[in-house]
Structure 1
Amino acid sequence: MGDTDPAANKRSERQVVVLFAISVLGAVGALVAYFALPLGSDPMSVRWATLGLGLGLALSLLGIGTGAVHWAKTLMSDHEVTEKRKPISSDQATRDAAVQALVDGARDSAIARRGVLKGAVLSALAIFPLTIAVPLIGSVGGDWNISKFRHTVWRKGRRLAIDPSGRPIKASDVTVGSVFHVIPDGMRDEEHWMEEKAKAVVLLVRLDERDLKGDQSPSGETWSYDGIVAYSKICTHVGCPVALYEQQTHHLLCPCHQSTFDIADGAKVVFGPANRPLPQLPITVDAEGYLVAQDDFAEPIGPSFWERLK
């Protein structure tokens, strides 16, 4: 239509410009969200910051993608061109013909006369990388103290509470086959509690005691209670949340890269790229029947790192 109707051609050009302009606005919006909505300890700040960045990136990429497609469909040459198959190498005359075809295509699309369109394309392509580069540069001076992963807020006698309600859980509440997502009791009273929660999250499962093949304790202590076991939810591959439990096989699956752990056998790796078991939280019960930690995890949680003790 644009090949024969100048008005339609101009309308298509304006539409493409608008699409690339949307991309520019999305990229700018993502940068504004990065600086105006910083991550804090409040869950709502995390939610709004993530939403702002996500919407900005989505609009930026959507504008570039749809703009490129619309440009190709409405402004580029739509003449069918066929050629016979020939050897890969070509002579100079063929190469000259190919270059001439590109020149003819550019002339046919009138790209040289579309200054606004070229400006919109270049602006969108130039600004979008900033949405990735600025957050990366901003994180260069971040906290790289990896020793923080050696310890969590779990300590002897601290009750296990259901996430997110924070209600302490009794051993009698956990039936065979049931699964609970668990955090330390009183989590919100901790300083930087969101960061501490991210390290301390636990998956609690009750198995038939006959299915347990033993605990991870290197010195022989019992780290489970009446078939109830508790393991870190942080995958030892790259730190994704491990939370997909298969009751019949007692396997725990990480949805990111399919690392699979056998919680009936010390959460050992049975499949996938993870190279060590999930750390086990030693648990028992207090005088009131509530599940409590015997201590912190015996080893660092999360992915392996260069200073982690073996």
Structure 2
Amino acid sequence: MSSSEHPTSETSNAVVGSSATEDAFTNPGPEEHSYRITDTEPEAAKRSERQVAILFSVSIIGTLLFIVSYFVFTPGATMASIRMSTLMLGLGTGIAFFAIGIAAVHWGKTLMPDRELSEDRHQLAGSDEDQAVALEIIRQGKEESGIARRSLIRNSMIAALALVPLPAILVFRDLGPLPGRVMHHTMWRKGVRLAKDSGGVPEHPALIRASDVTEGSVFHVIPEDLHKSDEPLDDKAKAAVLVMRLEPDQLHVSKGRENWNYNGIVAYSKICTHVGCPVALYEHRTHHLLCPCHQSTFDVTHECKVIFGPAKRPLPQLPITVDSEGYLVARSDFQAPVGPSFWEMNH
């Protein structure tokens, strides 16, 4: 067959292009708009407006529930009180935010314009003309949403949004004390006996004799009179101590700390100086204390100085001795603020 009998590739492309042009369809535009009942019946619109306002009011009730629960259901030393406090605070927060979300969705679906619009793309320039157009769009949005003329929705929304941040303020307050010298002082003082931490707040804690602390052992310790505190959990968090025994010649004692240990028995704060996690891992062979949160490592033989990890300063040491009955007692409070190094900045 001759070449004239076969169409060239250029001819084929032209045919395909022509066919595609002929088969192209016309843009039908947006579908016909279906009006909602709230668009055609003023009474239905009013009813929907009241429903939105009620939902915002429910949010206000949820916020008030959180605030009241915060003061009424104070978590105590029992798990039941902690669970009740958590339940009521979570219930109040959930109602407050959930009701606002439902109100916004219901408002948008029943009262705000739902007509589809199409706009041509244009360059994003900051000319005066464009700014005027933007302001006009905002004005139209205000008018179309009805926020200007629907005072019931507007006022209830403003009240709900004004109150809903209050629980966050109370929660942030519980993250810890404000900057100051609060972490410089604990329940430890001269003559306070060291007691084993059994996990609760016993009225008759098990005291610790120097003879009870053998090399390689580690004791989690609290003040003997912790149960007399008005806020035992908070005071325990600051006063928690680890006690262990080394050979006296293994300790590198700095000047002024010669009598802070008793025959190789040393006591250090249990609170990591990084972000306050409990230091609870003791390596007997290396005499290292490890924080499980971020792996800060402290050398007990060198007064718990930091040898690894993000912590910036040693664990504070509690000066100890023994009383006339052989029980371990504190010589004084910590000589440095316990906890994260943030508190060291507030001398």
1:268 to 2:324 alignment: no
Note the alpha carbon deviations across 1:100-154, whole angstroms, 9 max, x for none: 32333334433344333212211112233555679999xxxx9999489345334
Conservation of the 8 A alpha-carbon contact between 1:215 and 1:223? no
Q: Which residue of 2 aligns with 1:30?
A: 66
Kindly state the Cα deviation for residue 24 of structure 1 after the two structures are TM-superposed: 0.8
Paired residue for 2:135, among 85, 99, 102?
99
Q: Which residue of 2 aligns with 1:280?
A: 317
Distance 1:16 1:229 in 2: 64
Paired residue for 2:157, among 107, 121, 128?
121
Conservation of the 8 A alpha-carbon contact between 2:215 and 2:246? no
Q: Which residue of 2 aligns with 1:188?
A: 227
> 3-state DSSP class of the match of 1:111?
coil
1:299 to 2:299 alignment: no
Over the matched positions of the two proteins, sequence identity in percent amounts to 30
1:86 to 2:123 alignment: yes
Larger Rg: 2
Paired residue for 2:77, among 32, 43, 50?
43
> 3-state DSSP class of the match of 1:304?
helix
Q: Which amino acid aligns with 1:184?
A: P
Conservation of the 8 A alpha-carbon contact between 1:242 and 1:252? no
> 3-state DSSP class of the match of 1:43?
coil
Equivalence map 1:106-145=2 (5 Å): 106-131=142-167
Q: Which amino acid aligns with 1:304?
A: E
Paired residue for 1:6, among 33, 37, 60?
37
Distance 2:215 2:105 in 1: 55
> 3-state DSSP class of the match of 1:230?
strand
Distance 2:107 2:143 in 1: 15
Task: Give the TM-score of the pair, scaled to structure 1.
Answer: 0.64
Q: What runs of 5+ residues in structure 2 fail to find an aligned partner?
A: 1-32
Kindly state the Cα deviation for residue 62 of structure 1 after the two structures are TM-superposed: 4.6
Conservation of the 8 A alpha-carbon contact between 1:241 and 1:254? no
> 3-state DSSP class of the match of 2:316?
coil
Cα separation, partners in 2 of 1:298 and 1:43, compared to 1, 3 Å: closer
Distance 1:253 1:74 in 2: 55
Q: What runs of 5+ residues in structure 1 fail to find an aligned partner?
A: none
Distance 1:26 1:46 in 2: 20
Q: Which residue of 1 aligns with 2:239?
A: 200
Note the alpha carbon deviations across 1:242-297, whole angstroms, 9 max, x for none: 31545568454385xx593514343334444x65322112456789986x235234
Q: Which residue of 2 aligns with 1:161?
A: 196
Conservation of the 8 A alpha-carbon contact between 1:224 and 1:282? no
